[in-house]
Amino acid sequence: MTSAIDTSIPVDTGDWCGADPFAPNFRDDPYPSLHALRARDPVNLTPVNTWRISRYDDVATIFRKAKTSQTLADGTAPNFDPLDTRGSFLEFMLNMDDPEHQRLRRLAMQSLGPNTVRQMEDEVKKTVEQTLDKALAQGGMEIIQDMAHLVPSRMVCQIMGIPESDRELFNEWTGARTNAFFARFLPPDVQQRTRDAGNAMADYFENLVRERRGNLGNDLISALIRAEAEGDKLRDGELVVQAIGIIVAGYETTIGLIGNGTRAFLDHPEQLALLREDPGLINNAIEECLRYDTPILFNWRVLQEPFEVSGKILPADAVLWMMLGSANRDPARFPEPDRFDIRRRDVAHQAFGGGVHFCLGNALARMEARHAIGQFALRTKGIEIRQGKLEWSHSFFRVMAQLPITFH
């Protein structure tokens, strides 16, 4: 007997398959459960009716070939908390489709492209140098606060035109605000904290924009204000939302890259020795850090028409969670995927997503990490490093709150 119904698809309820990304301890070591999920159900219907795509090739194919949107056909954002409105990402470029998305992306790209990377490079080098001077004098450092957080926070605030005296306000806000991307599925207290951060950030940027209007500079906020002044290019409120989105996207993720990357080196002293011997490996090493411990474990797409993935036909309006952290450890793509190997020949990870939303800040993030991790390796040569107690932050991304180390 033949049937049109594909019985391999569970129709009623899905299954986390032992890998519930919202479970409190999921971040401790998600990789064994992500391997198990990929092996058992690579195209997985979750209990919240979304599909998790775990294989590298499937993720890449969807980014490149599938016709997708960031919202459902009726315009709803599938992962956001419906009560989260002020300062929400509804109008952030990442939640928009072309042509609106393209318009916003081009505006921001003017302040985040290669010219900015070059302009910021000396500043980043100086920050890294100073923080390492201090650490070496003190006999230790807090990897997150003194490096992984400090470097991107200084840089993003400078690019955006946020005064240095206000920088610390964002320490709490950005971490809390990352939860907004998947807040529909988070507990009420986290939802509330996320909404509070949205309100606080909207207040802050509304004020900053008001002040800046009379005093334009060459920062990103000024660039957005100029675009707004040029006519219909930026609608009311859109400006503030892009600012919140960019600071969250540009700051939290990079803490993850520098923090997790440094930790990977501390856990693999032989790789640290390799990098010290041959500092030319740094570019490949940063790619390996992005692959080995990916800062954003998953992002999302919504299918606009049915699409076949590894033998399952997913319907239009299916919400897909692209498991970047799993794709980057897929043994079908990367031999010995759990090995941290900075000499790996093919490190083409998908940590920055893909397609039209491919991370706008990738060159900036890579440059920051190159200096932070590269200098850390060189300047700690000959020193024994001991790790203290790691704590995860309340960010939705894979970001530590602290990782103290001491030098001996």
Partner 1 sequence: MGRIIFIAHDGEQHAADAQPGESLMQCAVNNLVPGIFGDCGGCATCGTCHAYIDDRWRAAAGEVNEDELLILDGSEHARPNSRLTCQVTFTEELDGVIVRLPPVQR
Q: List the one residue out of 202, 206, 170 whose CA is nearest residue 89.
A: 202
Q: List the one residue out of 189, 203, 95, 147 whose CA is nearest residue 394.
A: 189
Tokens 């940590």 found at: 351
Residue choice 6, 13, 47, 118 for contact with partner 1 (CB under 8 A): 118
287 binds partner 1 (CB under 8 A): yes
- Residue 361 touches which of partner 1, ligand HEM, none (Cβ within 5-8 Å per kind): ligand HEM
Where are the strands (E) in 107-230, listed by range? 140-142
Residue choice 352, 376, 396, 397 for contact with partner 1 (CB under 8 A): 352
- Residue 283 touches which of partner 1, ligand HEM, none (Cβ within 5-8 Å per kind): partner 1
114 binds partner 1 (CB under 8 A): yes
Q: Which is nearer to ligand HEM, 26 or 407 (CB)?
A: 26
171 binds partner 1 (CB under 8 A): no
49 binds partner 1 (CB under 8 A): no
Interactions with ligand HEM, residue window 348-377 (CB under 6 A):
351-355, 357-361, 364-365
Q: By CB under 8 A, which span of 30-38, 108-116, 192-200, 379-387 interacts with partner 1?
A: 108-116
Buried/exposed 18-38: b ≥16 CB within 10 Å, e otherwise? ebebeeeebbeebbebbbebb
Tokens 């006519």 found at: 231
296 binds ligand HEM (CB under 6 A): yes
Residue type present at position 320: L
Number of Cβ within a 10 Å radius of residue 126:
12
Collapsing DSSP to helix, strand or coil, 303 comes out as: strand
Dihedral of the CA atoms 325, 327, 330, 336 (nearest 10)?
-50
Q: By CB under 6 A, which span of 42-50, 105-113, 169-177, 398-406 interacts with ligand HEM?
A: 105-113
CA distance 319 to 222: 36
Site map 52..91 versus partner 1, x via CB under 8 A? --------x--xxx--------------------------
Q: List the one residue out of 347, 296, 305 whose CA is nearest residue 326.
A: 296
246 binds ligand HEM (CB under 6 A): yes
CA distance 137 to 133: 6
Q: Which is nearer to partner 1, 118 or 134 (CB)?
A: 118
Buried/exposed 255-281: b ≥16 CB within 10 Å, e otherwise? bbbbbbbbbbbbebeebbebbbeeeeb
Interactions with ligand HEM, residue window 298-317 (CB under 6 A):
299
CB of 89 closer than 8 Å to CB of 352? no
- Residue 348 touches which of ligand HEM, partner 1, none (Cβ within 5-8 Å per kind): partner 1
Residue choice 40, 67, 106, 235 for contact with partner 1 (CB under 8 A): 106
Starting at the earlier edge strand, list the strands of the sheet with 404-407: 140-142, 404-407, 385-387
Q: Which is nearer to ligand HEM, 214 or 373 (CB)?
A: 373
CA distance 19 to 12: 19
Interactions with partner 1, residue window 231-270 (CB under 8 A):
none
Q: Which is nearer to partner 1, 114 or 163 (CB)?
A: 114
Measured in Å, how far apart are the chain's first and last C-alpha atoms?
72
Q: Which is nearer to ligand HEM, 204 or 251 (CB)?
A: 251
Query: How near is the Cβ of 7 to ligand HEM at its closest, in Å?
Result: 32
Collapsing DSSP to helix, strand or coil, 38 comes out as: helix
Interactions with ligand HEM, residue window 113-142 (CB under 6 A):
none
- Residue 285 touches which of ligand HEM, partner 1, none (Cβ within 5-8 Å per kind): none
C-alpha torsion sign, points 347, 159, 183, 72: negative
- Residue 94 touches which of ligand HEM, partner 1, none (Cβ within 5-8 Å per kind): ligand HEM
Residues that bind partner 1 (CB under 8 A): 60, 63-65, 105-106, 109-110, 113-115, 117-118, 283, 287, 348, 350, 352, 354-358, 360, 362-363, 366
Residues that bind ligand HEM (CB under 6 A): 93-94, 105, 108, 112, 156, 246, 249-250, 253-254, 257, 295-296, 299, 351-355, 357-361, 364-365
